[in-house]
Structure formats: C-alpha cells, structure tokens
Amino acid sequence: MRDGDESVERKAFQREHNIVGQSLEIQEIIEVIQQVAPTDITVLVTGESGVGKEIVAQAIHTASRRSHKPIVTVNCGAIPEGIIESELFGHEKGSFTGASDSRKGYFELADGGTIFLDEIGELPLATQVKFLRILENGEFMRVGSSTAKKVDVRVIAATNKDLEREVYIKHFRPDLFYRLRSVNIRIPPLRDRREDIPVFFNKFAKEVAEKNNIAFLGIAGDAMELLTQYYWPGNVRELRNVVESMLVIENGRQLTVDDVRKYLRGSQTNGEDRNLPVYVPKQAEFAERELIYRALVDLKTDIVDVKNLLVNAVGGSTALVRRDSGTGPELHNGAIVHQRTAEEENISLEEMERRMIIGSLQKYEGNRRLAAEALKISERTLYRKIKEYGLQ
C-alpha cells in the first residue's frame, strides 16, 4: 500500500474511533492500535491522568473481533480493597456477611469481550496473584468457591504510575509486570505534543457550542498561542474543562488572551512564571507525590505573598524587630513573622507529603473520601499513606 493510501486509512480509522490529534506521537499510537486490535494480546496503556487512556482502550476493543461483545471498564483505584476480589471475580451465596445471593464478577460479565482495568497499579498484591492466573490460563475462582471457572476475556490495563518503580518498592508483582508489558502504548502528556492542542480546542469548542446552543465567535491568535504554551498538568481533561468554562461564561464571544489567562491555573506557561520552581517530570513517575508537592508549593507561594504584604505594610519606616533567643518569632511593628529554620528549609518530600495529608484530613474532619479528592489521589492510596505514616 502506498504512503498516501496508508495516511488516508489511518485518518479514517482515527475518525471512526474518535482519536483526536495530528502529532507524530498520535499517528504512531494509531499504527500500534491497528496492529494489536485484531489480536488477543494483553495491552498496557500508560500515561499521566487525563491523557485519554480510556479512548485508546475503547479503540482497541471496537477495532477487534470482540467488538460485538461488551467492554467492561473497571476503575481499580475506586474499589475498596476489602471487596475488590468479589467485584472482579464474583462470589458465592453466603461467602461473607451480606452475600445473600451468588453474583458474577466483572470478568464473567466481560466473557467473550474485553475488560479494561484502569489504575491497575492500585490493585492489591493478593489480588494481583489471582489476576495473573486469569492472564495465564483464563481461570479464576469466585470468592467462597473451590471450583475453578474459565473465561475468554481480552485484557487491557492502564496506569499513570511507573510500574517498574512500583515493582522495585514491592508494591507490584514483577511476574505480573513482565506479563503486562508485552505491548505498552504510552500516551505522551499534552505539553509534549502541543500541535494537538488547537485540534482538541476546536473539537471541544464545537461540542460545547452545540450542546449549549452558543454561537461561538472564535479565539484570537495570541490567545491560542497562550493555550499552546500552557503546561496543562491535567492534560486533555483539563483542556476540555477550560474550554467549556470559557465558552459558557464568556457567552461565546471571541476569546482574547486576557480571557484565556483567567481560566488557566496561575497563568503558568512552561513553569516559567512562578516565583518558586514546580517539579513536574516528563513521565508519570512518582505521580502521587508530585500532585501533593505541587499543592504544597502553591500553598507556600501564598504564604510568601502574605509575608511580603506584612513587610511592605511597614515599608519606609524603621520596623520594630525583636528576636527571641534561638529560633523564635520576629516581631515587625507588632506583627509576628515566622522565621524558617534550617530544618524547614530542607524538609524532605516525605515530610511535606505527611503534613499535607494531615492538613487535608483535619480540613475535612477525618472524611477520607473528601481528603483524597482534595489531594487528587485515590482513597486506597490515601489509606496506604495513612498506614505508612502511622496516622491511624
């Protein structure tokens, strides 16, 4: 087939399966999807939160011979550890308190089709053993049963974690990791394929305008340039939310650069406009701690601003400064300004994370679900961190 014909076929495939983007990275992903979809090989989709891992999983399923059967999507991070095996593999009547009837699990419901296991990195170690058995021979046992069942299921897994690191710190089984990574489709973050941003913007703007009956007048060139230079920590999901907010609140009028700036968090572009550096790696490595760290940095920025206001309030005049012995507080015209100790300047990332978790739990009066949402981590991860730091 000639290159031109391949390009036409790829674009048709892209439209059919709702895959947005014109970057080289997206074209390469489409080629891999076309190669693996007709097979039953297990696929691991990796990338930061919000890059579109579920879209890729859906495309693999709909382009496969299993497309006439359902694709069952399971968010492993949203299921409490105590019931996840029952949810995945089902249970027999009377196998535990409340099991009034036998029940099929997600794997049985997906028999003949595809199961998409999102946040696979959150799967408990004990459950990983049983999951590996299904990958190897299609066998599993319901909770409370001693009889093995077989299913014919195609598995697609996804994670925003670095599973190799999870193996190293013994949070993920190496045999399962090696079994999963036979085909790994990595979706780059939006900031690494900026030519896709205008494509996504136009698609989302059209959808929002049609849904809300808005006559959208477009976006200025410098405003689009600001969008393409923004870091997009939330990736495509964040872009969709920003577009929806801008069109609805601005009522469809042409968007200027000042309009766009109002809807971007901190108006940061490439991390250059911050008073303090923001550590965000190119890959999803240490994803949970990065989110907490960024929140801490933002909080620290606010504290610095308040302190500057206090100092500026006494500007010009000689400030009354009283230092207690050691590392006590400073008094500036009656305002106490905290002195940072050497220990605070060199605080470890683990300690920052611990303090952030404590603060969030206190803010929401011990409600772990709300605390996890505020920290942008799963409830199971929060439970694990609470145990790890002895905060129970």
Residue 273 has pLDDT above 90, yes or no: no
Task: Please tell me the distance from the alpha carbon of residue 116 to that of residue 389, in angstroms, as a whole number.
Answer: 32
> Predicted confidence band at 326 (pLDDT cuts at 50, 70, 90)?
very low
Query: What pLDDT does 306 receive?
Result: 53
For residue 157, give the nearest of 249, 253, 248, 41 by alpha carbon.
41
Query: What pLDDT does 307 receive?
Result: 55
Instruction: Choose between 164 and 304: higher pLDDT.
Output: 164
Residue 300 has pLDDT above 80, yes or no: no
User: Does residue 369 sit in helix, strand or coil?
Assistant: helix
The H-or-E segment that residue 322 falls in is strand 321-323
Task: Please tell me the distance from the alpha carbon of residue 264 to that of residue 296, in angstroms, as a whole number.
Answer: 18
Residue 315 has pLDDT above 80, yes or no: no
For residue 142, give the nearest of 186, 180, 85, 199 by alpha carbon.
85
Of 13-22, 215-224, 225-234, 267-276, the range with the lowest mean pLDDT is 267-276
Q: What angle do CA 56, 58, 59 make, to 5 degrees?
A: 65
Residue 302 has pLDDT above 80, yes or no: no
* Mean pLDDT on 157-181: 94
**Cα 137 to chain centroid, rounded:** 31
For residue 173, give the nearest of 115, 118, 116, 133 by alpha carbon.
133
Query: What pLDDT does 312 receive?
Result: 55
> Predicted confidence band at 82 (pLDDT cuts at 50, 70, 90)?
confident
Query: What pLDDT does 336 receive?
Result: 42
Q: What residue ranges of the chain are covered by domains with CATH 1.10.8.60? A: 191-267
Instruction: Choose between 374 and 109: higher pLDDT.
Output: 109
> Predicted confidence band at 320 (pLDDT cuts at 50, 70, 90)?
very low
User: Does residue 314 sit in helix, strand or coil?
Assistant: coil
pTM: 0.68
Average pLDDT, the chain: 82
Residue 351 neighbours by CB distance under 10 Å? 13
Q: What residue ranges of the chain are covered by domains with CATH 3.40.50.300? A: 3-188
Is the CATH number 1.10.8.60 carried by domain 191-267? Answer: yes
Query: What pLDDT does 366 receive?
Result: 81
State the alpha helices, DSSP H only, in the chain. 3-16, 24-36, 53-62, 84-89, 106-109, 125-137, 163-168, 174-180, 197-212, 221-229, 235-249, 257-263, 287-313, 342-345, 349-363, 368-375, 379-388
* Mean pLDDT on 353-381: 82
Check if the beta carbon of residue 351 is closer than 8 Å to that of residue 357.
Answer: no
- Read off the pLDDT of residues 191-250 as tens digits, 9 standing for 90 and up: 999 999 999 999 999 999 999 999 999 999 999 999 999 999 999 999 999 999 999 999
Question: Max alpha carbon distance in the chain (Å)?
Answer: 83
- CATH for 3-188 is 3.40.50.300
For residue 335, give the nearest of 322, 354, 348, 317 by alpha carbon.
322
* Mean pLDDT on 289-300: 56
Instruction: Provide φ and ψ at 169, rounded to 5°.
Output: -90, 10
